[in-house]
Amino acid sequence: SQNNEEKLDHKLTFGPTIGANLSIIPKFLDGVKENNPRLGLNIGGVLRYQADNTIFIQTEVTYSQQGTNNVFAIEVDLFNQPQKLQFNGDFKVDYIRVPVVLRKNLWNKFYLGAGPYVSFLTKKYVNLFTDDGAIRVSGDFDEVMEKLQELGVELDLKANNIDYGALLDFGYNLDFGVT
């Protein structure tokens, strides 16, 4: 006879997923003094295949908010006057993310996982302002760069339309899935 914990019917489940992520964009501008992370929301759906009592493979489709907050100083030719300006910038890039994660149950429904992901850009927004309030611009990256160029400020802001990488994840399984 087998112990119930040793018995397992391979299970395929699906359900909602919600969480938070802390993201940072590497220092992509010269003169960066501070590069702080953005706390963002992850929300979507999950499909999970449980291979045994401790291992499962999971894929998701999630909306993921990412970005950073920077303080940087740059040399500008503002109204034909060379100046060094200090900017504060909120850079927000949101993606639809599709990871495939191998997870291992640790104890009491806590798990650890790792795997690759691919993400597709849905939003790229920036809010830039100088400490003295002389310049304040907000909007899509491209719109903000055009506004700044009109003022004599050259920035090259870019966001990947397709992003990919690896993730490491730790969490608690609530078992709200539908079998």
Residue predicted with more confidence, 145 or 151: 145
Q: Which residues contact 166 (CB under 8 A, 6 or more apart)?
A: 114, 115, 116, 117
Q: What is the pTM of this model?
A: 0.74
Q: Which residues contact 3 (CB under 8 A, 6 or more apart)?
A: none
* CA-based nearest residue to 84, from 153, 161, 160: 153
DSSP 178: B
Can you give the C-alpha Rg of the chain in angstroms? 22
Flag whether pLDDT at 139 surpasses 70: yes
Handedness of CA 54, 60, 64, 66 (dihedral sign): positive
* CA-based nearest residue to 86, from 153, 174, 171, 18: 153
Q: Rounded to an integer, what distance in angstroms lies between the CA atom of residue 69 and that of residue 51?
A: 41
Q: Rounded to an integer, what distance in angstroms lies between the CA atom of residue 153 and that of residue 110?
A: 49
Query: pLDDT digit string (tens) for 121-134?
Result: 999 998 888 878 87
Flag whether pLDDT at 169 surpasses 70: yes
> According to DSSP H, which parts of the chain are helical?
141-150
CA distances 45 to 97, 102, 106, 164, Å, are 11, 16, 23, 19
* Torsion angle defined by CA atoms of residues 137, 30, 35 and 38, in that order, rounded to the nearest 10 degrees: 50
> According to DSSP H, which parts of 94-153 are helical?
141-150
Residue predicted with more confidence, 6 or 150: 150
Query: pLDDT digit string (tens) for 5-49?
Result: 444 456 888 888 888 888 877 765 666 777 788 899 999 999 989
Q: What is the mean pLDDT of the chain?
A: 81
